[in-house]
Amino acid sequence: MRDAQARGNDPLAPTVLSYADADGIGQVSASVGRFPLPLPPQLSQCPDLSEHPFSHCTLTHLEDGATLILDESPADETRPSVGRRWTAVRTDRDGGMVAVAASNTRGDRNPTPSRPTPPLSVRQLTDIAVSTAWKPVLAAVPAPPRGSTSMPSFQYLPAAEVTDVISQNLPGHLRTADRGGAPGYGHLTVDDGRGKCLVAVTVQQWEPDDEALTRVFRGAITEADGVRVKVTRGHPDKGGDGAVLWSVDIWRPDGLRVAVNELNTRAYRLPGTRREPALGIDELKKIALSDAWRTALAGRSSDRTERK
């Protein structure tokens, strides 16, 4: 070990070690924390492949009820063939979390490999993450402030319901695959025989007069029924060479917002694989304006009321 440092003044900030042996210099980091209950759903999920297509991840449920996520990804996703970063994250049922990582680079600002592989194997990272030696450390981590929550109070549509509605509004000749997402967000790929395209939808219920959204939709077309429609064609912020992003974003008078995005490739961060996405703007508008979104949200609200 060459040196160690804790980042910033936060006592829970990661401790970062520079590790050197005959193979070269690498980095090892460790951090602990505590999440509010109930635990956010994303803590029991691998990275979403629509956003992180280079991730190789496994999720294991441990005997004590904890979850263990092991991930092998590029140290810099904009240069996926360069450095590597391996991570092990254990999350306990009470919200305690231990994360350890190793990379074959000198740090986040220098993703160029400084050794063939990270200094610790995935097996070694696992042993560290699940070690009982963390118990007194986690016991000293303060609980989140009273009243803190992991999710907003309003109801999100599960990802599976979002992808179901997308599928219901697609042309029949398209093949679909690669479904995924998170609460309020769902995605799948469509293929017309000329290559996969990612279609992703975010569904949110806002206040009808929200100031932030009013600014977002300034200059948008307003339909006869009061629905504001914003159409954009461009390039994704997280896109590879030749990647194209088409988007239809709608905001209904009752506050319902549905944003539909489509790429000309199967995931963000990848180069475009065709000149244009498979679905045209009118087909994206059909998805965004579907009454099925309102019906699905109403059904979730009814179920929630009955459970009270």
Task: Give me the residue spans of the domains in the chain.
Answer: 3-139, 159-307
Q: pLDDT at position 151, please?
A: 46
Q: pLDDT at position 175, please?
A: 98
Q: pLDDT grade, residue 9 (50/70/90)? A: very low
pLDDT in tens, 15-63: 888 988 999 999 999 999 999 888 887 788 899 999 999 999 999 999 9
Provide the pairing of β-strand 245-251 with 256-263.
antiparallel
Q: pLDDT at position 216, please?
A: 95
What's the full length of the chain, in residues?
Answer: 308
Question: 114: how many CB neighbours lie within 10 A of its CB?
Answer: 19
User: Does 153 score more than 80 pLDDT?
Assistant: no
- Lowest average pLDDT, out of 140-154, 184-198, 274-288, goes to 140-154
User: Does 307 score more than 60 pLDDT?
Assistant: no
User: Does 161 score more than 80 pLDDT?
Assistant: yes
Q: What are phi and psi of 144, to 5 degrees?
A: -60, 155
Could you give the CA distance from residue 145 to residue 158 in angstroms, rounded to a whole number?
27
Q: pLDDT at position 91, please?
A: 96
pLDDT in tens, 238-250: 988 999 999 999 9
Stretch 226-244: mean pLDDT: 95
Could you give the CA distance from residue 143 to residue 146 in angstroms, rounded to a whole number?
8
Amino acid identity at 306: E
- C-alpha of 270 from chain center: 16
pLDDT in tens, 68-116: 999 999 998 888 888 999 999 999 999 999 999 999 998 767 778 999 9
User: Does 13 score more than 80 pLDDT?
Assistant: no
Paired tokens of 143? 């609980």
Q: Is 3.10.620 the CATH classification of the domain at 3-139?
A: no
Could you give the CA distance from residue 232 to residue 220 in angstroms, rounded to a whole number?
10
Could you give the CA distance from residue 56 to residue 83 in angstroms, rounded to a whole number?
14
Average pLDDT of the chain is 89
Q: pLDDT at position 44, please?
A: 82
